[in-house]
Amino acid sequence: MARHATLKIYSRGGIRAVDVAVLLTVTDDACNAICAYENFLDSVRRFERRGIPPFYLDMIGFPFHLQSRLRQLRDWPPTPDALRTLVSSRDRLIVRSVELHSPGFWEFLAT
């Protein structure tokens, strides 16, 4: 079972709504990239346990998540849209709480 951690971002009021939307999007994209990278490392470790050296992995179609039905990524680094397909819904970032005073904070829950 995945462990959860909390990410807390402190901020001040008086920011435009569009900037809040950008903050939420880039925070989600960054967490998806970290999760996809962790999945990639897990896949590499599974191959290494089977005796397949890391330098062969690119030849057999990495990066992809071995325990999913996802297609191999063609472009690296992946786009934010591609990363969203690599992260399961249970591992996606969740807004846990928001304090809307100045200064306040946004608190996220993630694996």
Give pLDDT, residue 68.
44
* Domain residue extents for the chain: 5-110
Give pLDDT, residue 28.
93
Give pLDDT, residue 82.
81
Q: Higher confidence at residue 109 or residue 53?
A: 109
Q: Higher confidence at residue 79 or residue 62?
A: 79
State how far the Cα of 66 lies from the Cα of 22, in Å rounded to an integer.
31
Mean pLDDT score of the chain, rounded to an integer?
Answer: 76
In the beta sheet, which residues pair with residue 82? none
User: Can you give the pTM of this predicted structure?
Assistant: 0.70
In the beta sheet, which residues pair with residue 95? 108
